[in-house]
Amino acid sequence: MRLDVINGPNLNGLGRREPEIYGTQGLDELERRLRAAWPAVEWSFFQSNHEGALVDRLQWAEGHVDGLILNPAGLSHTSVVLLDALLALSIPVVEVHVSHVLAREEFRRTLLTARGARALICGLGLAGYEAAARHLLEPEAGA
């Protein structure tokens, strides 16, 4: 099983950026946690601050991995481009947000990209990525 974890703009600052909202653990720690929890999975990780690079990665994912965990970050609230890229995929995608976006500013309640995902997880911190992985790897567990 191959899973790709894609993080969007500003998530390279996770762990240092607004720690009261996003916590103190960064993408390195996320990668360590996922690899430790599921050592048999063929993990790949990608982060970009650029919308087009994220589209390229989503297009690459089809045919290269079996599922995607995606945090589109701020682009979730605005990007028809990312939504269209997601709608073209046949592999399952779980959208994750570290923070509870629905309980924050009004503009964060619009989640355009989530329409292209199988499921949406928010507010669990980094554990949200683990919940997403669990769903993709053991779908019957959440049935």
Task: Enumerate the active-site residues.
Answer: 22, 97
How far is Cα 140 from Cα 68, in angstroms, rounded to an integer? 17
- Residue 123 Cβ, how far from ligand DQA at the closest point, in Å? 8
Q: In the complex with ligand DQA, which residue's Cβ is closer, 47 or 76?
A: 76
CA distances from 64 to 58, 89, 98, 116, 132 (A): 10, 12, 26, 19, 19
> Please, what is the minimum distance in Å from the beta carbon of residue 2 to ligand DQA?
23
59's enclosing H/E stretch is helix 51-61
The residues of the shown chain that bind ligand DQA, judged by CB under 6 A, are 10, 71, 73-74, 76, 97-99, 101, 108
- As a whole number of angstroms, the distance between CA 69 and CA 119 comes to 10
Question: What's the min distance (Å) between Cβ of 85 and ligand DQA?
Answer: 17
Nearer to ligand DQA, 13 or 139 (CB): 13
Q: For ligand DQA, give the closer residue by CB, 91 or 122.
A: 122
The torsion angle over the Cα atoms of residues 136, 27, 35 and 56, rounded to 10 degrees, is 50
Considering beta carbons, is residue 68 or 98 the nearer one to ligand DQA? 98
In the complex, least distance from residue 23 CB atom to ligand DQA, rounded to whole angstroms: 10
DSSP state letter for 50:
-
